[in-house]
Amino acid sequence: MTGTTRALHGLTTGGTVDGGRTSVDPIRRLAMISLHTSPLDQPGTGDAGGMNVYVVEVAKRLAGHGVEVDIFTRATSSALPPVVEAYDGVSVRNVHAGPFEGLTKAELPGQLCVFAREVLRAEAVQPVGHYDVVHSHYWLSGQVGALARDRWGVPLVHSMHTMAKVKNAALAAGDAPEPAARIIGEEQVVEAADRLIANTDLEAKQLIELYDADPARVDVVHPGVDLSVFCPADQAAARAALDLPREAAVLLFAGRIQPLKAPDVLLRAVAELLRRSPHLRSRLVVPVVGGPSGSGLDRPESLAALAAELGITDVVRFVPPVDQASLARWYAAATAVAVPSYNESFGLVAAEAQACGTPVLAAAVGGLTTVVRDGRSGMLIEGHDPRDWATALERVVTDPVLRDRLAAGALAQAREFSWEATAAATLEVYRQARSGMRVVAA
């Protein structure tokens, strides 16, 4: 089969697809692309965060549906083998593209060609029609996914996770705007994809209004929570395990330390809270669980310096990134979890915390307005004024009746999200993408 024939074989608007399969045949093999962050990395530092969790959890559940999943990611260590069998039915393929260390996300576009070449090479040794679908995550992966789509003759499903135009519209103080090259790249991926998966109705609206996405090709699929890991646990036992005072008021931040996530808003709010109610200092604990990421890497000690400047070093506890089981223990130990981000496409921390029965105080932005039910599972706070946040913190710390009501509502809200449902809906999107794949002109 010639290169041209191979590239066009199976491009269809329905009926027969590559290898003689039809659009109603089951999805057997999936190429998932997560270029800039590996599913093997620990979430909470560097570029590893909610997207890593999403990729891993969806891949595992898809494998449970009988789909063989290959996740292509950029190798960041020479010690990594070319292929890691991460879970039953899920393989991580570590692609060599650029130096293993010291390459920032802003420099990754220069490695797209090398990465794409290696992805295509990995498929070329397989029989024609080896993969049924390509699912790319984040715009860099989407660029590679678009090439693979046309070369392999299979549909491209893309998940943005974050969008430059949305981020630039609500920049955090001290954060740098996303460059024009990213915006152009995102627009190209939106145009190339056969289906776009949005985390929430709001994200779908943003794709349509800001990126001119075809509404008929946008599907809303909520991310989930591993309810076997993130579930209610005894608060006293969790606090004992974490060396937290039994009667403490624990206000937790969990996530990457960068301006976008706004941990500084929580610290400033805590300082304001203690100015108003100094008697709370003796029992207040503010754990910050996570590591520097993104533009936060430029000043990795800035949050500790801010705590010192605000005079709250005695109540703030910095904790390195932890695994999911340990994170669940932190959620269970907390009085409330604060998510003051300037934008979140979904807000996985909020969903996980609620699954542990912990109220969430969240900024009323992005997907957080879907995840958190204001007044029922937590509180949504307009803006990032520390005084408003201090008022919300004081309410949840000092009002046990409110706290108990929100905790019960948090558990009820968490039942709306599961990775099993996410995977099943995603699989249906794959089927729709295959049955409605657009013809590419030769």
Residue 162, marked binder:
yes
Residue 48, marked binder:
yes
Between helices 112-124 and 138-152, what is the axis angle to 10°?
Answer: 40
Residue 182, marked binder:
yes
Residue 42, marked binder:
yes
Residue 129, marked binder:
no
Residue 195, marked binder:
no
Residue 205, marked binder:
no
Residue 43, marked binder:
yes
Q: Three-state secondary structure along the chain? A: CCHHHHHHCCCCCCCECHHHCECCCCCCEEEEECCCCCCCCCCCECCECHHHHHHHHHHHHHHHCCCEEEEEEECCCCCCCCEEEEECCEEEEEECCCCCCCCCHHHHHHHHHHHHHHHHHHHHCCCCCCCCEEEEEHHHHHHHHHHHHHHHCCCEEEECCCCHHHHHHCCCCCCCCCCHHHHHHHHHHHHHCCEEEECCHHHHHHHHHHHCCCHHHEEECCCCCCCCCCCCCCHHHHHHHCCCCCCCEEEEEECCECHHHCHHHHHHHHHHHHHHCHHHHHHEEEEEECCECHHHHHCCCHHHHHHHHHCCCCCEEEECCCCHHHHHHHHHHCCEEEECCCCCCCCHHHHHHHHCCCCEEEECCCCHHHHCCECCCEEEECCCCHHHHHHHHHHHHHCHHHHHHHHHHHHHHHCCCCHHHHHHHHHHHHHHHHHCCCCCCC
Residue 352, marked binder:
yes
Residue 203, marked binder:
no
Residue 358, marked binder:
yes
Residue 131, marked binder:
no
CB 240 within 8 A of CB 229: no
Residue 168, marked binder:
no
Sign of the Cα pseudo-torsion (50, 55, 60, 66, in order): positive
Residue 50, marked binder:
yes
Q: Which residues of 361-398 are buried (b: 16+ CB within 10 A; e: fewer)?
A: bbbebbbbbbbbbeeebbbbbeebebeebbbbbbebbe
Residue 331, marked binder:
yes
Residue 138, marked binder:
yes
Residue 188, marked binder:
no
Residue 180, marked binder:
no
Residue 261, marked binder:
yes
Specify binding-site residues for UDP-N-acetyl-alpha-D-glucosamine.
42-43, 50, 256, 261, 322, 344, 352
Task: Could you list the residues known to form a binding site for Mg(2+), using ranges.
Answer: 331, 334, 358
Binding residue numbers for 1D-myo-inositol 3-phosphate: 36, 47-52, 105, 138, 162, 182
Q: Which residues line the annotated binding site? A: 36, 42-43, 47-52, 105, 138, 162, 182, 256, 261, 322, 331, 334, 344, 352, 358
